[in-house]
Amino acid sequence: MTIPHKFACFDLCATTSDRATFLKTVNTMRRNADGTWHGDMFDGMGFCAAMQDNGCELKGKKALLIGAGGAGSAIAYSLVMAGVNELAIFDEDVARRTTLVERLDGLKKCMVSHGSNDPSGFDIALNATPMGMSDADPYPLQVGHIQPSMFVACVITAPAVSPLVAVARAKGCKTMTGADMFGRVRDLMVDFLLES
For residues 157 and 94, state if they share a domain.
yes
- What pLDDT was estimated at residue 105? 95
For residues 17 and 77, state if they share a domain.
no
For residue 28, list its beta bridge partners.
40
User: What one-letter code names the amino acid at 69?
Assistant: G
How far is the C-alpha of 74 from the C-alpha of 76, rounded, in Å?
A: 5
H/E element, 103: helix 94-105
For residues 31 and 48, state if they share a domain.
no
Task: Average the pLDDT over 137-143 and give the result.
Answer: 97
For residues 31 and 112, state if they share a domain.
no
For residues 124 and 29, state if they share a domain.
no
Q: Which of 6, 24, 61, 174 is catalytic?
A: 6
For residues 126 and 32, state if they share a domain.
no
For residues 49 and 85, state if they share a domain.
yes
- Residue 6 known to be catalytic: yes
For residues 16 and 92, state if they share a domain.
no
For residues 84 and 130, state if they share a domain.
yes
Tens of pLDDT along 157-189?
999 999 999 999 999 999 999 999 999 999 999
143 within some domain: yes
Tens of pLDDT along 116-127?
999 999 999 999
- What pLDDT was estimated at residue 195? 86
125 within some domain: yes
DSSP of 62-78: EEEEE--SHHHHHHHHH
Q: Taking 70 as the threshold, does the pLDDT of residue 16 lie above it?
A: yes
68 within some domain: yes
- What pLDDT was estimated at residue 112? 98
- Band of the pLDDT at 196, cuts 50, 70, 90? low
Task: Average the pLDDT over 100-116 and give the result.
Answer: 96
Orientation angle between helical segments 43-53 and 70-82, nearest 10 degrees = 60
Find the domain containing 66 and state its range: 43-181
For residues 135 and 161, state if they share a domain.
yes
Tens of pLDDT along 23-81?
999 999 999 999 999 999 999 999 999 999 999 999 999 999 999 988 899 999 999 99
Angle subtended at Cα 18 by Cα 17 and Cα 19, rounded to the nearest 5 degrees: 90
For residues 11 and 88, state if they share a domain.
no
For residue 30, list its beta bridge partners.
38
